[in-house]
């Protein structure tokens, strides 16, 4: 059975690169009818952030990535790690190192001065026939693993193919600090093994850790999982993604008005593809995703693509869903009698839920000012008279004005009788009803507002802005 995991550190909020990793692991587990686990790597007590920990769980709930079993917290598993560290020491596969931080810093400075790669010099590594230095007083040891002096660590990476790391390039790295806390590479290996991970899909910034982790797997007699190292997400210039480029907290995308479907669709394509397909439902992702098809090269963040996808999903989700989503932005229209028309009208132009809210508010809220450029262009000396005439015609049949086509039937003869062009009438009406000239169909706006409200706004605009004194 396939078992994957996502294992964030709660030292910062979950960003989109982390969410992409979680998504890939989720998709492969669900595609394979396996398990997807969530583990919080919180052993760095000094850097842990309680708010970030809650935000990770909140982000998972928002995007709908469900995990199997309970959330695992590394901070609750310290006794397990210490047991395996002791096992390695007892078996002679790891040892106590009493080199102080000052001695280690001095060693590295000397090596760098001699243009050597900084590495531990194995002073405390026990060897047959070797006499170790006297144990210094007052120095708590770290625990180092005994790495092979010869040979190669070889593993198959599902993205990069066969990888080979010469053992001579790996020094005796620390698996437990002087305060007894185990290190990242050690706890990750133990957790992945005990939790039965079969596939580890993660960013390629972890690639250098893999050879060390394999040595720990082998030392403890654990099975080694399959690895897939995903290239990073770059900004459009090919550099590391920053907050300015889009490396935001996942929940910031909710606050910016994105739907979770759009964000997941966007992320699945940042490093994986299925021919030229751009839009994927979750069902399609689950059916088609295979980590073997992850791209070998880095992907580039493209905000325009994300906005395009978000606009697509806004147009295609139900109006009930949109009304519910808008409540997050303090826009409450579920009880509006023209909700369907209002949403159908406004969602065609919206790229985000915030834009959708603004478009809705432009219609529902009476304007307090009018676009100056539009007034100068479209409000002429005879505009007020034309509007008054038009609404007097509508007044006669107002009880029959229920749909946009009802307004259209009345308006066409009015255009013909007074030899008007569309902008001469409709742009002043848009200005009066919404304060701007970029609003949707005038007919639809009047249907939503109702004749009486539309008339009030028209005559208020005439009084304030459309007469000669204004």
Give pLDDT, residue 466: 57
Give the relative orientation of helices 50-63 and 16-31 as an angle to the nearest 10 degrees. 50
33 is in an annotated binding site: no
DSSP string, 108-119: HHHHHHTT----
Nearest to 351 by CA among 256, 277, 252, 266: 256
Report the Cα–Cα distance between both ends of the chain, in Å, rounded.
Answer: 75
Mean pLDDT across 428-453: 93
Mean pLDDT across 244-271: 92
Mean pLDDT across 196-209: 96
Domain 3-75+233-300 belongs in CATH node 3.10.129.10: no
Per-residue pLDDT tens digits for 171-192: 999 999 999 999 999 999 999 9
Q: Does the predicted model carry a pTM greater than 0.75?
A: yes
Give pLDDT, residue 248: 80
pLDDT of 444 > 60? The answer is yes
pLDDT of 467 > 70? The answer is no
> Distance between CA atoms of 379 and 370, rounded to whole angstroms?
11
Percent of the chain with pLDDT over 70: 97
Nearest to 429 by CA among 417, 418, 439, 415: 439
pLDDT of 470 > 50? The answer is no
How do beta strands 94-97 and 142-145 pair? antiparallel
Mean pLDDT across 3-23: 92
- Indicate the length of the chain as a whole number: 470
Give pLDDT, residue 377: 92
List 243, 377, 385, 412, catalytic entry: 243
Containing 418, the helix (H) or strand (E) segment is: helix 404-418
> Distance between CA atoms of 470 and 455, rounded to whole angstroms?
19
Nearest to 228 by CA among 190, 187, 199: 199
Per-residue pLDDT tens digits for 74-122: 999 999 999 999 999 999 999 999 998 888 889 899 989 888 888 899 9
243 part of the active site: yes
Helix, coil or strand: residue 54: helix
Mean pLDDT across 304-319: 97
Write out the CATH class of domain 366-466.
mainly alpha
Burial of 207 (0-12, 13-18, 19+ CB in 10 A): middle
Per-residue pLDDT tens digits for 144-178: 999 998 999 999 999 999 999 999 999 999 999 99
Give pLDDT, residue 465: 63
Out of 244-253, 303-312, 363-372, the most confident range is: 303-312
Spell 178-198 as b/e; 16+ CB within 10 A means b: beeebbbbbbbbbbbbeeebb
Instruction: Confirm if 466 and 383 have CB atoms less than 8 A apart.
Output: yes
Give pLDDT, residue 468: 38
Mean pLDDT across 357-373: 93
Nearest to 355 by CA among 259, 243, 448, 269: 259
Topology of domain 77-230, CATH:
Rossmann fold (3.40.50)
Neighbouring C-beta atoms of residue 133, cutoff 10 Å: 9
DSSP string, 293-352: GB-SSPEE--HHHHHHHHHHHHHHS-HHHHHHHHGGGT---TT-TTHHHHHHHHTTT-SS
Nearest to 227 by CA among 186, 189, 171: 189
H-type alpha helices, 114-179:
none
> Distance between CA atoms of 326 and 298, rounded to whole angstroms?
35
Per-residue pLDDT tens digits for 206-226: 999 999 999 999 999 999 999
The residue among 356 and 462 whose pLDDT is bigger is 356
* Backbone region of residue 250 per phi and psi (left: phi > 0; alpha: psi in -120 to 50; beta: other values): alpha
């Amino acid at each position: 059975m396939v078992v994957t995991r996502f294992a964030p550190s709660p030292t910062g909020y979950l960003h989109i690169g982390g969410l992409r990793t979680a998504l890939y692991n989720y998709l492969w587990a669900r595609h394979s009818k396996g398990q997807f686990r969530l583990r919080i790597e919180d052993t760095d007590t000094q850097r842990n952030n309680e708010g970030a920990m809650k935000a990770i769980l909140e982000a998972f709930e928002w995007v709908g990535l469900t995990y199997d079993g309970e959330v695992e917290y590394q901070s609750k598993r310290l006794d397990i790690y210490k047991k395996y560290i002791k096992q390695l020491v007892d078996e002679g596969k790891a040892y106590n190192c009493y080199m102080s931080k000052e001695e280690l810093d001095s060693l590295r400075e000397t090596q760098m001065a001699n243009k050597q790669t900084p590495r531990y010099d194995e002073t405390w590594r026990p060897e047959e026939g070797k006499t170790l230095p006297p144990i210094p007083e007052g120095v708590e040891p770290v625990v180092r693993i005994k790495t092979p002096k010869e040979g190669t660590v070889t593993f198959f990476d599902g993205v990069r193919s066969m990888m080979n790391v010469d053992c001579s390039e790996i020094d005796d790295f620390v698996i437990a600090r002087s305060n007894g806390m185990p290190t990242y590479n050690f706890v990750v290996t133990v957790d992945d093994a005990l939790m039965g991970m079969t596939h580890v899909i993660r960013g390629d910034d972890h690639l250098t850790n893999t050879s060390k982790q394999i040595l720990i797997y082998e030392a403890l007699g654990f099975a080694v999982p399959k690895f897939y190292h995903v290239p990073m997400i770059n900004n459009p210039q090919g550099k590391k993604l920053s907050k300015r480029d889009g490396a935001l907290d996942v929940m910031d995308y909710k606050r910016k008005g994105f739907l979770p479907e759009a964000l997941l669709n966007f992320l699945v394509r940042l490093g994986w593809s299925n021919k030229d397909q751009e839009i994927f439902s979750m069902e399609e992702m689950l059916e088609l995703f295979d980590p073997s098809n992850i791209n070998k090269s880095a992907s580039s963040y493209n905000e325009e693509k994300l906005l395009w996808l978000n606009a697509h999903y806004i147009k295609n989700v139900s109006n009930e869903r949109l009304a519910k989503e808008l409540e997050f932005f303090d826009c409450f229209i579920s009880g509006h009698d023209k909700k369907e028309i209002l949403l159908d009208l406004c969602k065609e132009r919206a790229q985000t839920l915030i834009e959708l809210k603004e478009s809705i508010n432009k219609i529902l809220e009476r304007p307090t000012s009018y676009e100056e450029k539009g007034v100068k262009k479209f409000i002429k000396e005879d505009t007020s008279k034309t509007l008054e005439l038009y609404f007097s015609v509508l007044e006669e049949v107002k009880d029959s004005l229920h749909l946009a086509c009802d307004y259209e039937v009345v308006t066409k003869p009015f255009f013909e009788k007074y030899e008007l062009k569309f902008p001469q009438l409709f742009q002043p009406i848009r200005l009066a009803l919404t304060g701007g000239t970029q609003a949707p169909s005038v007919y639809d706006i009047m249907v939503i507002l109702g004749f009486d409200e539309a008339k009030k706004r028209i005559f208020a605009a005439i009084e304030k802005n459309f007469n000669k004194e204004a």
